[in-house]
Amino acid sequence: MPCLALYDIADTVGFVGAIVNRSGLELSWSDREDLEQYLLATAWEISLTFDPGKGSVGFSTYAGNLLRRRTHDWVRQRNGRTVWRFSGGRIHTRERPQLVPFDDSVRHRLDESLAERDGDREAARDEGLGRLFAERDRARIRDEFAMGLEPPRRAAG
Sorting pLDDT into bands at 50, 70 and 90, what band is 125?
low
Work out the average pLDDT over 128-145.
69
| H/E stretch holding 93 | strand 91-93
135 has pLDDT over 80: no
pLDDT exceeds cutoff 90 at 40: yes
Position 107 confidence tier, pLDDT thresholds 50, 70, 90:
low
pLDDT at 146 over 60: yes
Q: What is the mean pLDDT of residues 13-39?
A: 93
Q: Could you tell me the pTM of the whole model?
A: 0.54
Q: When comparing pLDDT for 28 and 153, which is higher?
A: 28
Residue 87 scores a pLDDT above 70: yes
The residue ranges of every structural domain in the chain are 12-81, 104-146
Mean pLDDT of the chain: 79
Residue-level pLDDT at 117: 55
Confidence band, pLDDT 50/70/90 cuts, at residue 53: confident
Q: 7-11, 54-58, 105-109, 143-147: which has the highest mean pLDDT?
A: 7-11
Local confidence band at 110 (pLDDT 50, 70, 90 cut-offs): low
Q: Three-state secondary structure along 115-156?
A: CCCHHHCHHHCCHHHHHHHHHHHHHHHHHHHHCCCCCCCCCC
* Residue 93 φ/ψ, nearest 5 degrees: -120, 135
Rounded distance, CA 14 to CA 9, Å?
Answer: 9
Average pLDDT on 100-115 reads: 59
84 pairs with which residues across the strands?
92
